[in-house]
Structure 1
């Protein structure tokens, strides 16, 4: 005797009520999405769930057949939309798979007969098989090898075992010629020593973005580093023992947007100035806008610098003086006779900020030699004591590079505040914003400039240090400059002239800016680009079908016409977001192989312009406005619009775009070919449970490469240091860090002859990674 398909099941009515409620949620949200022009699937799935809820409440076994059909249709739809890509499939099917498992639990028989689970069990097995196939296939992975070149590299002024500048040398390559650590032995790296600075975020007056981003220097057997709260420390490079500490005694409350120090700068003497006791010098820019010169032997100020003070005041000749609103978060450039200084200004606070002037001072005395003010670019002779630089002009907050043989310093420029509205920018601001500018070392005059974004409305500052490397192109050895950008371009330029060595094309850009503004007709795109494909409704993601539906609705509500969609009062989707495909960590370049190790990151942001009725109301900060001197970010006092900026996330706070969100990738700089690309990092430290899913996570903090064929990176938002094979990108080793590693590591040779890897684990305030104060040296066993 066979059971009737309408026979009652022993399921409780509450299961039916919950299922029907979930169905109504999908039905309502799906109808909203359809009205916006989106997919009909959610409406259909919601209607089926409501039917299932009724069948469950009535205890009808036919619900198993209905759910089998729903799960089968869902898997077909998921594969049609996402292909064999596990995480997008999981977001679409996870709720229905869990329901299937629940329905297949060993409930008692109905009417003494089996429940007829066969069709649903078969569909579930097929779903599991599809999932297993997607686990074994990564559509985002690009496998390949970088070429094994062994070309002659330019001679380095830095000894092989040392690290004298942020990028090891003034060329900013972040490449070490050390070879002791190799792909064959890197897995044997162990901590050799750990030093704790005692300096962590959370002190009174700290802004949200208080970060430990330093890359230490190694000179002789000493390491030199700075802390977020501006102390300078010298350590024994072999043992990690503290040798001295200098506190520059930053005074008073400061209007800080960022509190960080990415590094100090080293100058090899001797000084020709009588009475100068400093054989060499360390330069430290402080958060209250001083440039301090220290003796690397003792940590004491150099008396001949700054007229006996050991420091100079960077507020000199500045407009709109507001302590903390201007200072150099990045290490200054040092040449044989000059120290070249830029600085960050407050972003999106007001239209009355300090100048973005670039200044060159005598490295021994601190006397002003020249000043390049992008608001007055032709007048570079030292400004008069009673004059001021142009207020609110484009600034350079990142790290510059220098080629002393060519006599040029290369400056990555930011935008003029406010970032998202440019209706009143001057012609000079339009010309130099978001550009890399080559300045004559002797005079400060512009030799050439290359603009990476025209009329930037997206906070696409040039964020990273230009990397200088000689490339073999067309059989010729060419002095090149490689410039990473937030929008994902790697521009490869002739550093003598600024002319592209790899093709750059101008492509039409979306139009329709906010009232009183305009957009550029075209935007430049490099032949070597990590620009991601445009987002589509199929790109939307979430932990479940429900928050994915919310992301789809939000996607259709926002303005989005691809990259360079102008900000709007209704909300614009900005992708890549202003976090950047590349940020201040930049890239690492092997000058022998002429290849780049890169860490592209992909996060979408939402930019919404808020019309301002006056110059005082806080439209964005509201009741959460910071206290004291901390600035009211994104209010744009004096502009017609404030701006709301936030990541494009689901109601659960998960990125609306499907992973991966971060990669490691290798590129041939001579051809522009991306040889390999692999998702990088796990969500272990950004989920409620420590789940080590390798989804590919955002990165901030740069990589380094070595002549041993190994690259190192700590900047992912999970707390790890990792090593990779430069040729293939394969991960070779990882080690758990005690805090976030949002800094660029470095490597050096100790007095014991061992090669050390030096890692900073201190965390990043605005990313929310774990705070710490750790300096960790790794080495192979003796």
Structure 2
């Protein structure tokens, strides 16, 4: 007579019950969510898999071996499905298989103790071997998670015909100081120095550290790139304090505190850059027009200029830090003049002034989506010596460049220029990167004059303010696609052995436009593509939008349900459901009374940090962020109710915003799972090199780790390079390095410009979100990399550091 099957031990039953509960709960969740997803027209996978896992879990609770066989079937079916959906891309596969592989290992360990399997030696050995294989696979996957994500590996990008355009760049002719945002007027953020190389960068160490005492809290952020003039470094802080430091030691020479009225600017305090003027070296902005007033006599000493959050333009003596004599009223010009009513916080010249010959160009940030009656987006030029208004570019007064008459004001609600303009001394032009008319997300009220220049590069005569040409990057922009970064001047390879004097303009959309700076005509191909036009009542959406097909697109592609992500299948399922519940018809999905996806995000792919051009190798370096947002247009009667519920007490760009003067308000939010994890596939931020001769991506990789972040806001401490949203820009050097600090983790990094490999990094006390300063001291000949570290937007730690790195003596 055969022996009856052995009963599972008490320990085996308890262990099987625990595993069964985990499997059953996972299955129940997948089945419930799968049913929701199926009703929304989504994937068929989750519902049946969830039901089978629930059955498997219930059988495991009874210590029944059939539960293991059912689970094994689920896991085997999931593998080809995951590969079919995600290909062999690691992070999408990990989201689909990681949790199920862990459960499979636990089930395999339970199998030898289950009824129907406990008496079979072969099953015991096989189950343990399978569990071992799964464990090795999980450990291997965990180790692989610490590798960067390469979207394009060096040498693996699309190949284009070779361009024989000669590179005539000579570093010896480009040794100028760092005198403005982007280093020189062209804005290329290129440092023509080669003392620090890919071979010796690992020896970099902290040379000096300076503490400003100005910490950025409550919406304020430290985004400053210091200037370097000779042997002095000039820096500004979120509250517009200015410091002069010895370049080789970091010792303070002087400090200026404008004592900004914090009540006037309750949020969004930042100081990205200063302007520097040396009358002995700076020519006039352009030859004066016939009959125009000639430039006044120059001052004796060089000057620094800072704009403040309470709407002042201040001139300082660069040697002493005192108010500059003869400028404005006791060294100050009041930018509120001619602006009409300005609610505190509604206007702030965040990016700082730009020097154009002997003119100071001043734009300003206007708070998004508050009202049709917000301050003007006027751009003004002031005499660098006297502070007198030279001209004003006011969209609502075409051809009029004077200040408004007494009792009048500049046209309100017009497109602003909050990013950094660029000055072209040779052509006598200033290039403005414009925003759109307020509010950003509804334009039924906008005038033809506003629509004509919104989200555009506008070229003005630097001497008179007269328009020369306009190139628009988004028509009737109701997606907040204002131009976020400075136009960069570069002589662009034309593919025929010559070069074109060009402007390179990055956008929030991930499009890179290249236009001839003489006339605004495209240098690389731009096509108009049809887009959806079913907008809100009263809207007038454009039937087409411009796409820069002649340059790579730096962004996530079209969103799909399969492209939704999560750490596990559970939160990935949440993201799939969320995607299916949102309106999305591709690029330029019209704003809607239902939740919709503006993609790319209004936060942008590329932002104010701008780009760097390695002039030696004709390589454009771009950092971008890849996040998914949702928005919803609110009927007017809903705005006040939701604002009250949100607890919002004052104006701000987040949460519910009023859009007063229109029939609507707006609410926007990130699209994340319940763990706070972004819903799209990693990377969430990237660094890209583009070969300007071939106009193709040379390499593209994830940028930044999750070390300071984690699910549910819990810091992981693990430097997993998922790539994170970044602010600030890169700096390339003549030796073939790219320096960057602006990720959510606390590092200054150096990359090899030819390979994209991270060749060095150094920890910072807190995060940074500014562009590094790279210079060579005229006194010691030592090359420095200087960063400001005041804290990143997504991490809580704050600091007040200015740090210089150099090779040891």
Please give the TM-score of this superposition, normalised by the length of structure 2: 0.90
- Indicate the residue corresponding to 1:76 in structure 2: 80
Aligned ranges for residues 114-133 of structure 1 at < 5 Å?
A: 114=120, 116-117=123-124
- Indicate the residue corresponding to 2:379 in structure 1: 358
Could you tell which deviates more after superposition, 710-719 or 1-10? Answer: 1-10
Report Cα offsets for 1:516-556 as digits up to 9, x if no partner: 21321111111212243111111111121111111101101
- Indicate the residue corresponding to 1:501 in structure 2: 523
- Indicate the residue corresponding to 1:780 in structure 2: 807
The answer (yes or no) to whether the contact 1:289–1:324 under 8 Å persists in 2 is no
- Indicate the residue corresponding to 1:289 in structure 2: 311
Q: CA shift at 1:662, angstroms?
A: 1.5
Matched, 1:418 2:424: no
Partners of 1:734 and 1:497 in 2: CA distance: 42
Aligned ranges for residues 706-745 of structure 1 at < 5 Å?
A: 706-745=733-772
- 1:369 counterpart SS class: strand
Q: Which of 716, 719, 727 is the aligned partner of 1:692?
A: 719
- 1:140 counterpart SS class: strand
- Indicate the residue corresponding to 2:64 in structure 1: 60
- Indicate the residue corresponding to 1:259 in structure 2: 269
Q: CA shift at 1:683, angstroms?
A: 0.8
Once superposed, what is the RMSD of the aligned Cα atoms?
2.8
- 1:258 counterpart SS class: coil
Partners of 1:386 and 1:754 in 2: CA distance: 55
The answer (yes or no) to whether the contact 2:208–2:250 under 8 Å persists in 1 is yes
- Indicate the residue corresponding to 2:168 in structure 1: 152
Shift in alpha-carbon separation, 1:157–1:277, aligned structure 2, 3 A: farther
Matched, 1:596 2:596: no
Partners of 1:653 and 1:154 in 2: CA distance: 49
Matched, 1:747 2:745: no
Structure 1, unaligned runs of 5 or more? none
Q: Which of 1, 10, 23 is the aligned partner of 2:13?
A: 10
Q: CA shift at 1:252, angstroms?
A: 5.5
Aligned ranges for residues 41-120 of structure 1 at < 5 Å?
A: 41-105=45-109, 109=113, 113-114=119-120, 116-117=123-124
- Indicate the residue corresponding to 1:394 in structure 2: 415
Q: CA shift at 1:106, angstroms?
A: 7.0
Matched, 1:643 2:646: no
Q: Which of 542, 564, 569 is the aligned partner of 1:540?
A: 564
Partners of 2:589 and 2:655 in 1: CA distance: 26
- Indicate the residue corresponding to 1:634 in structure 2: 657
Could you tell which deviates more after superposition, 320-329 or 535-544? Answer: 320-329
- Indicate the residue corresponding to 2:534 in structure 1: 512
Matched, 1:140 2:163: no
Q: CA shift at 1:102, angstroms?
A: 2.1
Q: Which of 607, 616, 619 is the aligned partner of 2:642?
A: 619
Partners of 2:651 and 2:728 in 1: CA distance: 30
Matched, 1:525 2:547: yes
Partners of 2:271 and 2:433 in 1: CA distance: 18
Partners of 2:452 and 2:7 in 1: CA distance: 75
Report Cα offsets for 1:678-705 as digits up to 9, x if no partner: 1222111112221111112211110011
Shift in alpha-carbon separation, 1:762–1:363, aligned structure 2, 3 A: same
Shift in alpha-carbon separation, 1:323–1:114, aligned structure 2, 3 A: same
The answer (yes or no) to whether the contact 1:701–1:744 under 8 Å persists in 2 is yes
Report Cα offsets for 1:551-577 as digits up to 9, x if no partner: 101101101111111121211112221
Partners of 2:63 and 2:341 in 1: CA distance: 74
Shift in alpha-carbon separation, 1:419–1:15, aligned structure 2, 3 A: same
Q: Which of 410, 428, 432 is the aligned partner of 2:453?
A: 432
Report Cα offsets for 1:313-341 as digits up to 9, x if no partner: 10111122223321210021112221111
Q: Which of 766, 785, 788 is the aligned partner of 1:757?
A: 785
Q: Which of 446, 465, 474 is the aligned partner of 1:453?
A: 474
Shift in alpha-carbon separation, 1:17–1:335, aligned structure 2, 3 A: closer
Structure 2, unaligned runs of 5 or more? 158-162, 283-293
Q: Which of 492, 498, 502 is the aligned partner of 1:480?
A: 502
Q: CA shift at 1:125, angstroms?
A: 6.7
Report Cα offsets for 1:725-760 as digits up to 9, x if no partner: 112222111111111111110101122211000011
Partners of 1:739 and 1:148 in 2: CA distance: 45
- Indicate the residue corresponding to 1:227 in structure 2: 237
Report Cα offsets for 1:444-468 as digits up to 9, x if no partner: 0110111111111111110001110
Shift in alpha-carbon separation, 1:635–1:360, aligned structure 2, 3 A: same
Partners of 2:105 and 2:674 in 1: CA distance: 26
Partners of 1:192 and 1:138 in 2: CA distance: 32
The answer (yes or no) to whether the contact 1:548–1:656 under 8 Å persists in 2 is yes
Shift in alpha-carbon separation, 1:678–1:7, aligned structure 2, 3 A: same
Could you tell which deviates more after superposition, 538-547 or 252-261? Answer: 252-261
Q: CA shift at 1:637, angstroms?
A: 2.2
- Indicate the residue corresponding to 1:300 in structure 2: 322
Partners of 1:34 and 1:418 in 2: CA distance: 38
- Indicate the residue corresponding to 1:169 in structure 2: 184
Matched, 1:215 2:239: no
The answer (yes or no) to whether the contact 2:149–2:701 under 8 Å persists in 1 is no
Q: CA shift at 1:95, angstroms?
A: 2.3
- Indicate the residue corresponding to 2:600 in structure 1: 576
Shift in alpha-carbon separation, 1:119–1:472, aligned structure 2, 3 A: same
Partners of 1:549 and 1:631 in 2: CA distance: 27
Shift in alpha-carbon separation, 1:605–1:623, aligned structure 2, 3 A: closer
Shift in alpha-carbon separation, 1:504–1:720, aligned structure 2, 3 A: same
The answer (yes or no) to whether the contact 1:381–1:443 under 8 Å persists in 2 is no
Matched, 1:186 2:212: no
- Indicate the residue corresponding to 2:286 in structure 1: none
Partners of 2:91 and 2:164 in 1: CA distance: 35
Partners of 1:628 and 1:679 in 2: CA distance: 35
Partners of 1:40 and 1:231 in 2: CA distance: 59
Report Cα offsets for 1:156-192 as digits up to 9, x if no partner: 99744x2111100111000011111111111111111
Partners of 2:334 and 2:148 in 1: CA distance: 58
Q: How many residues align?
A: 773
Partners of 1:149 and 1:530 in 2: CA distance: 25
Partners of 2:86 and 2:266 in 1: CA distance: 44
Matched, 1:250 2:260: yes
- 2:263 counterpart SS class: coil
Partners of 2:642 and 2:525 in 1: CA distance: 43
Shift in alpha-carbon separation, 1:371–1:273, aligned structure 2, 3 A: closer
Report Cα offsets for 1:253-312 as digits up to 9, x if no partner: 1244411000111011259999987501101000000000001101000120004x1010
Could you tell which deviates more after superposition, 640-649 or 147-156? Answer: 147-156
Could you tell which deviates more after superposition, 671-680 or 602-611? Answer: 671-680
- Indicate the residue corresponding to 1:674 in structure 2: 697
Partners of 2:379 and 2:320 in 1: CA distance: 30
- 2:152 counterpart SS class: coil
- 2:640 counterpart SS class: coil
The answer (yes or no) to whether the contact 1:255–1:631 under 8 Å persists in 2 is no
